Amino acid sequence: MPDRSATNREHRLPNRTLFSYGVSDLPVMLASMPMMLYLNNFYASDVGIPLMQLANLLLFARVFDLITDPLVGYLSDHTKTRWGRRKPWMVASLPFLMLGIYKVLIPDEGADIWYLFTWLMVMWLGWTMLMIPYYAWGAELTADYDDRTRVTGWRAAMGSVGSLMSITLPVAAILWFGLNGIAGIMRLTAIASLILIPIAVLITVSTVKEKPNVRAPALQVFDGLKVMFKNGCFRWLVTAFMISSLGIAVLMPLNAFYAISVLGADQNEIPILMFFGTIAGLAGIPFWVAVSKRYGKHRAWIGGFGVVTLFSPMYLFLGEGDFWFMVPFAAISAFGTGSFVALPNSMKADVIDIDTARTGENRAAMFFSAWSITTKAAGSLGGSLGLWALAWIGFDAGREALNTPEAIAGLKYVYVFLPSSIFVLAGVIIWKYPMTRERQSRIRAAIERRDARRARVALTPG
């Protein structure tokens, strides 16, 4: 009997291919980190947009994605060019994405709420055109259960390097060149990402091959979405992923508010906190990938939820002047989030196999567009939810604001309990997720047998 594990090792994707594919996530995460960490604080305190208005804007700006995400997914699945169907979309995204990043992170003098709304729309359009084909392409690189985790693990690792760069560049600039404040941090990371985005995308599209002869879906875009939601594993996974993303979206912007207003940290200390957290998150990725091989992907993901939730109450005991006591707690929690970035995307690829086995079509981009809608909605809702909560407790984010002790205590409780309760809910939902390595292997075997029959029929004369 042949050694299946040895056969799988022989057909594993080489590391150079994984690097070339994953590198495009580096500058994207470099650009996205300041938006997750600093954007809310900057536009609330420096620009002066009221918290409630900013929360409503961030949520409303993503309504456009309900149209663009499934449309780009559908068009990407049906694109036929000599270069493939994913690569042209990634290249075409660059002008929109780069202009939007520039305008959002380096705002013009006199920027207001409508300025932010306009350029967020442009940026998110470019983001959609890049990331949906890019992530769908990753699902098509390999059919192996564990090798898919390597694909998403490499991509997550490269993204974490980008996140680390978004922290280390400002830290270095603060220490050696006197960079000051969140506005300077956003400008520096924007410039770095605008230089690296076209370079990374060029490396990916010029060195990684697309899978040939992938059958495009016959369903129209919204019919395809209806069929996808009949996929039980898809519904299970996308619900947990959406709630998990909601928790991250609540937590990340609140870091700056908590550190500055509760601990009395300076704006220039926030990148230091994020530096240690990003290092820990990067270290967590190979750990959680290894755990997933032993216990399954969804169990490892739940382990990450547990680590983050377990350490959240520690922040209740910190106060003015305790910034450096926050650092180890934040690093341990960030280690847990390594499971968030590596495992769900690999699980997505497994779910797509179910649809491929049932329909005979590869609709990876449509699936990723559906996930993109839910995660973007969760991201916008999460950011807005955190701001709504701060406005509800009477917290004032203005630069010269003097908050009451009650408002500061409310910020502390929002920071501790709102994200962790969301992560607990996500863990409960995914606990009995039915897609295992054995089931995925059976599904892939069925797909390969059908593909082999089709190939024999195509070669048969007459």
Categorize the per-residue pLDDT at 219 as very low, low, confident or very high, splitting at 50, 70 and 90: very low
pLDDT of residue 201 exceeding 90, the answer is: yes
CB neighbour list of residue 131: distance below 8 Å, 6 or more residues apart: 28, 372
pLDDT of residue 288 exceeding 80, the answer is: yes
Predicted pLDDT of residue 267: 82
Q: Which of 158-162, 439-443, 455-459 has the lowest mean pLDDT?
A: 455-459
Predicted pLDDT of residue 224: 52
Is residue 296 within 8 A of residue 311, CB to CB? The reply is no
In the block, tokens 């495992």 appear at 343
Predicted pLDDT of residue 20: 92
CB neighbour list of residue 289: distance below 8 Å, 6 or more residues apart: 149, 150, 153, 300, 342, 343
Give me the chain's average pLDDT, please: 83
Mean pLDDT over 209-221 rounds to 57
Within a 13 Å sphere around the CA of 11, how many CA atoms are in the beta-carbon half? Answer: 14
pLDDT of residue 5 exceeding 70, the answer is: no
Q: Give the pair of three-digit tokens for residue 460.
A: 């048969």
Mean pLDDT over 383-391 rounds to 89
Predicted pLDDT of residue 316: 92
Q: How far is CA 137 from CA 89, 158, 215, in A?
A: 11, 16, 14
Q: Give CA–CA dist 380/62, Å, rounded.
A: 7
- Between 364-392 and 221-228, two packed helices, what is the crossing angle to 10 degrees? 80
- pLDDT, one tens digit per residue, over 361-373 is 666 666 766 676 7
Mean pLDDT over 276-293 rounds to 87
- pLDDT, one tens digit per residue, over 222-271 is 555 565 666 677 788 888 888 998 898 888 889 888 998 899 988 888 88
Q: Which of 9-13, 107-111, 136-140 has the lowest mean pLDDT?
A: 9-13
- pLDDT, one tens digit per residue, over 404-435 is 889 999 999 999 999 999 999 999 998 888 87
pLDDT of residue 143 exceeding 80, the answer is: no
Is residue 269 within 8 A of residue 323, CB to CB? The reply is yes
pLDDT of residue 66 exceeding 80, the answer is: no
Q: Give CA–CA dist 312/248, Å, rounded.
A: 13
The rounded radius of gyration (Å) of the Cα atoms in the chain is: 22
Q: How far is CA 51 from CA 39, 41, 44, 145, 300, in A?
A: 12, 9, 6, 44, 36
- pLDDT, one tens digit per residue, over 82-121 is 888 889 999 999 999 999 999 999 998 888 899 999 999 9
Q: Give CA–CA dist 209/202, Å, rounded.
A: 13
Predicted pLDDT of residue 13: 82
- pLDDT, one tens digit per residue, over 313-333 is 999 999 999 999 999 999 999
Nearest one of 22, 342, 72, 345 to 201, comparing CA atoms: 22
Q: How far is CA 69 from CA 192, 222, 279, 383, in A?
A: 27, 11, 32, 20
Is residue 262 within 8 A of residue 410, CB to CB? The reply is no
Between 212 and 279, name the one with better pLDDT: 279
Predicted pLDDT of residue 274: 82
Predicted pLDDT of residue 117: 92
CB neighbour list of residue 283: distance below 8 Å, 6 or more residues apart: 335, 338
Question: Which amino acid, one-letter code, is at 159?
Answer: G
Q: Give CA–CA dist 272/114, Å, rounded.
A: 32
Q: What is the largest CA-CA distance in the chain?
A: 83
Question: Which amino acid, one-letter code, is at 56?
Answer: N
Predicted pLDDT of residue 6: 44
Backbone region of residue 142 per phi and psi (left: phi > 0; alpha: psi in -120 to 50; beta: other values): beta
Q: Which CATH class is domain 24-203+218-443?
A: mainly alpha
Predicted pLDDT of residue 223: 53
Is residue 159 within 8 A of residue 26, CB to CB? The reply is yes
Categorize the per-residue pLDDT at 145 as very low, low, confident or very high, splitting at 50, 70 and 90: low
Q: How far is CA 215 from CA 77, 85, 360, 442, in A?
A: 9, 11, 8, 21
- pLDDT, one tens digit per residue, over 28-48 is 989 988 888 888 888 988 888
pLDDT of residue 1 exceeding 80, the answer is: no
Backbone region of residue 260 per phi and psi (left: phi > 0; alpha: psi in -120 to 50; beta: other values): alpha
Alpha carbon 364 to its chain's center? 17
